[in-house]
Structure 1
Amino acid sequence: MRYTKPALTFEQQIELLENRGLQFPDKDKAAHYLSNISYYRLSAYMLPLKIQGQERFQDGVVFDDVLQLYIFDREFRLLIFDVVEKLEVAFRTQMSYHHSQTSGPYWFEDRNHFRDADFWRKHLEGIDTEVDRAKEVFKDHFFGKYDEHERMPIWMTSEVLSLGLLSKIYRSLAMSKEKRDIARHFGIGHPLVLESWMQSITYVRNICAHHSRLWNRVLTLKPNYMERPAKLWITNKPDNDKVYYFVCCLFYMIRAIDPNTIFNDQLHELLGRYPKIDLAAMGFPKDWDSEPFWK
C-alpha cells in the first residue's frame, strides 16, 4: 500500500481535529503549540481521549485536555529520568568497584569472570567501540601517558560505556560474591532480579532521553517480580509490563542507596497536580498510596 496522506498546515491540522470532535476554545494558542509540538507527537496523547476504535473524540474533549496529558507525561519523564540518573551513576560505581578489589583494574579482560566466552568477546568488542567513540579528556590523558595499555582501567572505562552495554556486562558475569554484592547494594537479594531491573531501567531511560511517551506505555522489557525483598516492598503484585511496577522498582532501588530520597513525595505532588490522569492506564491499583511502601 502506498502512503498518500498530504502534509497539512497547522490551520488544516486544527480543522481536521475539529471535524473529529475536538474542541478549540483558542485556535491561536492551539496553532502555537502545534508549531512547537508536532501533530504526530501529540497524536499519541489523543488516543485515550477518542471513542474506542474510532477517530472521533469523546464528547466534551478540548485541546487543553490533550496538552495537559502531554505536559504531565513530560514532567513524569523528567522525574523518572532524575532518579534513573542517580541509579545509573551508582551502578557504574558498583560495577567498577567490586571485581577490581579482588581481581584488579582490568578484570573485565579475564574471560573467567564471564559465563560464556562468546559474550565475553562480544562485550570486549563493544567496550573498545564505545571507548573509541568517547571524547573525554581523561581518555586522551590516559593513553597519552600510559602508552603500554590498550585499554583504560575499569573505573575509567565504565564512565564512557552506555548503560545498555554496562547492564549487559553485568548480566553476562558468572555468579560470584562480587556480582551478589552489587545486587545487595541496591537491596536486591538475587542478581537475576537486578539483571532484569537494569535492563528495564535502560529501556525506560532511552524512552525518556528520546522524549517518547511513557505514562501509559506497555513496557516491552518488563522488570521481573521480586519474591524475597530485603527491604520494605509492595504487598500486591501489579502487572509488571505497566509503568506503576517499574516506578515501584525505581523507588525501591533509590531508597536503598538514598534513604532520604524525596521521590515518593515528588510523585505524589505530580499526580496531585494532574487529577484527570487515568492512573489505571499506568497500572496503579486503587489505594496504591495506602501501601506502607509509599509512606
Structure 2
Amino acid sequence: MSQPNPIAPKPWKDYTDLVSRLENNGMIVPDRARAERKISQIGYYRLSGYWYPCRQIELDDTGRQVKRYGLPMRSSAFQEGTNFDDIVRLYIFDKRLRQLILDAVERIEVNIRTIIAHVVGQQDALAYENPSFINPKKLATYFQNGNVRNQWHDWLGNHKAKINRSREDHIEWHKRSQKAIPFWVAVEAWDFGTMSKYFELLKMSHQTRVAEKVGVSTVKNLVNWLREINTLRNRCAHHARIWNQSSSNPLNYENDPFFHGLPSNGESKKRMLGLIAVIGYLTKQIGPGSRWIEDVAALIDDKPNPPSCSLSAMGIPEDGFPRAAFGIG
C-alpha cells in the first residue's frame, strides 16, 4: 500500500519576517535587531520550545480547553507579558543547567564505573565477557520484531564496538601488545549508558556490593537512578531542553533520610527537582565537600519567569528552591 504524500512544509521565512510574526502574535520584542541576531544564532524552532508554554490555550465556545491527544491545544497568540528577552534568558538558564548537570554526571560516571571494575574485576579480570556474573534472567533470549534478542549479547556487542573504536592510549597499548584488556582498563571505553546497563545486568550479589560502595540504600533505587540520569545525560549531551522535561518513570528515593525533606508529591519525582536531588546526593557521596547543589540552587534563584514558565514545571515549590531540604543556606 502506497503511503500518502506528506503535508507540505511551511514556507521559508527570513529573520525579519520571523520577528514580525512573533510581534503580530503578541510577543514583546524590545530590540528587533537583537531578536533577529539571536534567531540567526540559535534557531527559530529551537527557541520555540522555550516560548511554547507562553502561548495561549485554545478554548471552545463554552470556555473549556480544546485538547488534542489529551493535551491542551495552544493558539499562535502569546499570553500577555511574553517578552523575547525573557525567552532568551530562559534559554541561557537551561544551557547553564545542562552544563552543571554534565559536570556532576561526569563525576558520577567515572566513580561508579571505577567501583564496578574494582568490585567485579577482583573476581575476574575479564568479567565483562563472562556471563556467570550476569543475572540468568538477562541471559534469556526473546523475540523482538521477528528477531531473536538477548540483553547480555546486545550489551556485549556494544561493549566490543566501543573497545574497537577506542583510541585511549592504554587500550591501544593492550591491542598492540595482543594482551587481554583487564576490566579496570576496559571501562575507560564505556559511556554512561554502557555502564548503567552492565550494572542492571549483574547478579544481585554483585549489584549489592556496588550499591553499598556507591552509598545507595537499595539496588532497585540505583538501577532506577542510573536509567533516569542516563536519559538526562543524553539530552544534555545533545543540547536538548531539560528545564521543564517530565519523565514517565518517577524516581525512587523514599527509603533514604537525605530525601525526607523534599516535596512528597509524585510530580517532583518525575521532574528536574527529583533528578537534581539524586545527582546532588551522589555527588555528596563522592565528595562530601561538594558544593554542586549550592551552585544549582543559585542558578535556579536567577531563573527567568516568562508567563506559564514557573518553578512548578521543574517540580520545585513556587516559593523557591527547597534549600532547607538539602541542608544549605
Does the pair score TM above 0.5?
yes
Residue 113 of structure 1 contacts residue 174 of structure 1 at CA under 8 Å; is this kept in 2?
yes
The 3 A distance-change label for structure 1 pair 54 and 164 is same
The 3 A distance-change label for structure 1 pair 60 and 226 is closer
- For residue 292 of structure 1, report the CA deviation from its aligned partner: 3.6
User: Alpha-carbon deviations, 1:138-195, whole Å to 9, x = none?
Assistant: 22211111x253xx1111111111211211111010111x321221233211111111
Residues of 1 paired with 2:75 and 2:326: CA distance?
40
Question: Which among 74, 97, 108 is matched to residue 128 of structure 2?
Answer: 108
- 2:283 counterpart residue number: 254
- 1:43 counterpart residue number: 48
Letter in 2 for 1:208: C
Structure 2: which 5+ residue stretches go unaligned? 1-5, 58-73, 140-149
Question: Which among 248, 253, 258 is matched to residue 232 of structure 1?
Answer: 258
Secondary structure at the aligned position of 1:217 is classed as: coil
Residue 119 of structure 2 contacts residue 209 of structure 2 at CA under 8 Å; is this kept in 1?
yes
1:141 maps to 2:173: yes
1:212 maps to 2:275: no
- For residue 64 of structure 1, report the CA deviation from its aligned partner: 0.3
Residues of 2 paired with 1:270 and 1:218: CA distance?
20
- For residue 223 of structure 1, report the CA deviation from its aligned partner: 4.9
User: Alpha-carbon deviations, 1:211-236, whole Å to 9, x = none?
Assistant: 1000001124x35312321x522333
Residue 211 of structure 2 contacts residue 218 of structure 2 at CA under 8 Å; is this kept in 1?
yes
Tell me which of the two structures has the higher relative contact order, counting C-alpha pairs closer than 8 angstroms and 6 or more residues apart.
2
Letter in 1 for 2:226: M
Question: Which among 210, 217, 230 is matched to residue 182 of structure 1?
Answer: 210
Secondary structure at the aligned position of 2:316 is classed as: coil
Identity %: 28
Residue 189 of structure 1 contacts residue 228 of structure 1 at CA under 8 Å; is this kept in 2?
yes
- 2:192 counterpart residue number: 163
Residue 215 of structure 2 contacts residue 285 of structure 2 at CA under 8 Å; is this kept in 1?
yes
Length-normalised TM-score, structure 2: 0.83
Residue 223 of structure 1 contacts residue 246 of structure 1 at CA under 8 Å; is this kept in 2?
no
Secondary structure at the aligned position of 1:51 is classed as: strand
Question: Which among 86, 97, 105 is matched to residue 65 of structure 1?
Answer: 86
Secondary structure at the aligned position of 2:231 is classed as: helix
Residue 225 of structure 2 contacts residue 252 of structure 2 at CA under 8 Å; is this kept in 1?
no
Letter in 1 for 2:172: D
Question: Which among 3, 9, 17 is matched to residue 14 of structure 2?
Answer: 9
- 2:201 counterpart residue number: 172
- For residue 275 of structure 1, report the CA deviation from its aligned partner: 5.2
The 3 A distance-change label for structure 1 pair 247 and 290 is closer
Question: Which among 297, 302, 308 is matched to residue 268 of structure 1?
Answer: 297
Secondary structure at the aligned position of 1:232 is classed as: helix
- 1:94 counterpart residue number: 115
Secondary structure at the aligned position of 1:261 is classed as: coil
Residues of 1 paired with 2:208 and 2:250: CA distance?
18
Structure 1: which 5+ residue stretches go unaligned? none
Q: Which has the higher strand share?
A: 2
- For residue 198 of structure 1, report the CA deviation from its aligned partner: 0.6
Residues of 2 paired with 1:76 and 1:279: CA distance?
14
1:243 maps to 2:272: yes
